[in-house]
Amino acid sequence: MLFQQIAQNKRKTIYVLIGFILFVSLIGAAIGYFYGTWLGGLIVAVVIALVYTLIMVSQSTNVVMTMNHAREVTDANEAPELFHVVEDMALVARVPMPKVYIIDDPSPNAFATGNDPQHSAVAATSGLLEMMNREELEGVIGHEISHVRNYDIRISTIALALTSTISILVNFGMRGLWWGGGNRNRKEGSSAIDLIFMVLSILSIILAPIVATIIQLALSRNREYLADASSVELTRNPHGLISALQKLDSSQPMKNVDSASAALYISDPKKKKRTSHLFDTHPATADRIERLEKM
Amino acid sequence: MITWIIIIVVIALIAIIYMTQFNGLVKMRTYVEESWSQIDVQLKRRNDLIPNLINTTKGYAKYEQETLARVVGLRNQMTEIPAGDRQKTMEVSNQLSGSLKSLFAVAENYPDLKANTQFTQLMEELSNTENKIAYSRQLYNSSVANLNMKIQSFPSNIVAGIHHFKQSDYLQVPEEEKETPKVNFDDDFKGFDK
């Protein structure tokens, strides 16, 4: 059951990433169409996506930790329980010891970031350390270390970069639409196919940001289930994580959380309640607990 | 000419498969040894911590001499086990974990001791080593499972036979830990909700 779920989630993540890259190319082509060359637009879009992703990936730990007001803990005595639990989980997951950060916030939460297991970091709020006993803390940190081991941290950084790329491209495209682009040398009274292309391009430019967000969020929801499953594989104790999730769910929202990194946290830091689940960054806690109980 | 090419390609393929299987076996054997050395480090660390623990608790727990003596006895027994005997080492280690647990449970009756910062620090240190022992044993057993599977399955079993790779034994997990896996001294004091 555990391994099936992991394999299934990994497959899904790959499909979504491929979809995302195709999507960036499509948007690039649509915008390029208005500037007279769809191929040029496609190439420019892919190049922008690659450069942006590379920059994000190489700087992720510093950028993300600063955005979330986290301070690094280098001495184990400063937060012995957290430090030792991170050590335990890194040991059993066979990954190098990540850097440990603390965020001063009474709301319990945690996240992991970095490029690969050799350059990773785990952050926990002071509220998490207050509220959780060791078993629960192990469940939460196991979840974060699983994000590290499964390379989720890299995928989420890439997804973030691609979403940003799309918003850059769309800005560019909107300008093209507004001014009619440089494509004035096209023959007047051209075919119906041209018209269809035009409408499709406009539509995709307008819808792109929404679709990008939905894809990014779906990706993050899947990864949460996978990390829950892997955490139990590490601790061999589903009860700790179940009880931690219950506590996380019933707690207060975080004070000042960076909205771009909201998807990184183990539990939605904003505690938004929406009627539609399409825009949720996290799966419903009840669903997560149900899956854990089945294992 | 073509026959020769086919023969060379087949030989090259077999050589590549042989090499990857051999390297895989070596890697898994290294994992097993590596996780044992992790257990060993923690066992030594615990042995170093116990004299401090005895010194700290001695003044308080006058009535618990029996428990203290049992901990000291098992600790000394640990140092006498020959280095290669993993099963015996873990057997005594499990007993020591058990008596440490009862020592901490007894400390519940001594509020002064619980207030002692040195004692609480030692308690965190010791539950840290206990957890690390449990986790590295878990890692050891899963590494052994992978190694044994590799030694038995085709085609790596042929390579393993030629190079005399031996299956390893699992380390015994104490009965009570199969239910709730990890030792948690802190919780005796913290309670479930703080």
Domain borders along chain A are: 2-294
The candidate with the shortest Cα–Cα distance to A223, out of A291, A155, A128, A276, is A155
Q: Which long-range contacts (CB under 8 A, 24 or more apart) does B108-112 make?
A: B108/B188, B108/B189, B110/B60, B110/B61, B112/B60
The stretch A125-152 carries a mean pLDDT of 92
CA distance A199 to B45: 71
The stretch B30-53 carries a mean pLDDT of 90
Interface of B with A in 77-116 (CB under 8 A): none
pLDDT tens track for B73-87: 999 888 888 877 888
The stretch A218-224 carries a mean pLDDT of 77
Poorest-confidence range of A44-58, B55-69, B85-99?
A: B55-69
Domain ranges for chain B: 14-190
CB contact (8 A) between residue B187 and residue A84 = no
CA distance A160 to A173: 20
Residue of B nearest to A237 (CA): B181
Residue of A nearest to B194 (CA): A131
Poorest-confidence range of A254-268, B8-22, B121-135?
A: A254-268
Comparing B84 with A229, which gets the higher pLDDT? A229
| Contacting residues of A for B124, CB less than 8 Å apart | 80-81, 84
Q: At what angle do helices A134-149 and A80-93 cross, to 10 degrees?
A: 50
- pTM equals 0.77
Cα B187 to Cα A271, B147, B161, B174, B178, distances in angstroms: 29, 36, 49, 20, 18
CB contact (8 A) between residue A135 and residue B190 = no
Poorest-confidence range of A91-105, A194-208, B13-27, B93-107?
A: A194-208
A147 is in an annotated binding site: yes
Comparing A11 with B79, which gets the higher pLDDT? B79
Looking up tokens 């290294």, which residue turns up? B30
Residue A277: predicted pLDDT = 64
Residue of A nearest to B185 (CA): A134
Residue A276: predicted pLDDT = 61
Candidate ranges A48-52, B102-106, B152-156; pick with highest mean pLDDT: B152-156
Q: Is the pLDDT of residue A184 over 60?
A: no
Residue A282 has what DSSP assignment?
S
Show Cβ contacts of residue A81 under 8 Å, excluding neighbours closer than 6 positions.
Answer: A129, A134, A137, B124, B186
Q: Is the pLDDT of residue A143 over 90?
A: yes
| Contacting residues of B for A87, CB less than 8 Å apart | 128, 132
Comparing B58 with B88, which gets the higher pLDDT? B88
The stretch A175-201 carries a mean pLDDT of 64
The candidate with the shortest Cα–Cα distance to B144, out of B132, B156, B136, is B136
Looking up tokens 């993540």, which residue turns up? A13
Please tell me whether the peptide bond between A96 and the residue prior to it is cis, using omega within 30 degrees of 0: no
Residue B193's pLDDT band (cuts 50, 70, 90): very low
Residue A278: predicted pLDDT = 63
Q: Check if the beta carbon of residue B139 is closer than 8 Å to that of residue A94.
A: yes
Is A144 noted as a catalytic residue in this protein?
A: yes
Residue B104's pLDDT band (cuts 50, 70, 90): confident
Q: Is the pLDDT of residue B98 over 70?
A: yes
The interface predicted TM-score of the complex, written ipTM, equals 0.75
CA distance B156 to B25: 8
Residues belonging to chain A with any Cβ–Cβ distance to chain B shorter than 8 Å = 80-81, 84-85, 87-88, 91-92, 94, 130-131, 133-135, 138, 235-237, 239
| Contacting residues of B for A138, CB less than 8 Å apart | 182
Q: Is the pLDDT of residue B9 over 60?
A: yes
Q: Is the pLDDT of residue B188 over 70?
A: no
* Residue A114, both tokens: 């970095």
Q: Is the pLDDT of residue A4 over 70?
A: no
**B149 three-class SS:** helix
Backbone angles phi, psi at A101, to 5 degrees: -125, 150
Mutate to test the interface with A, among B182, B183, B186, B190 (most CBs of A within 10 A): B182
Q: Is the pLDDT of residue A213 over 80?
A: no
Residue B172 has what DSSP assignment?
P
CA-based max dimension of chain B: 90
The third-level CATH classification (topology) of the domain covering B14-190 is de novo design (two linked rop proteins) (1.20.1440)
Q: Is the pLDDT of residue A2 over 60?
A: no
| Contacting residues of B for A91, CB less than 8 Å apart | 38, 132, 135-136, 139
Buried (b) or exposed (e) across B18-48, using 16+ Cβ within 10 A? eeebbebbeebbebbeebbebbeebbeebbe
Residue A155's pLDDT band (cuts 50, 70, 90): confident
Residue A177: predicted pLDDT = 67
Residue A17 has what DSSP assignment?
H
Q: Give the minimum alpha-carbon distance from A288 to chain B in angstroms, rounded to a whole number.
A: 21
Residue B194: predicted pLDDT = 31
Residue B23: predicted pLDDT = 94
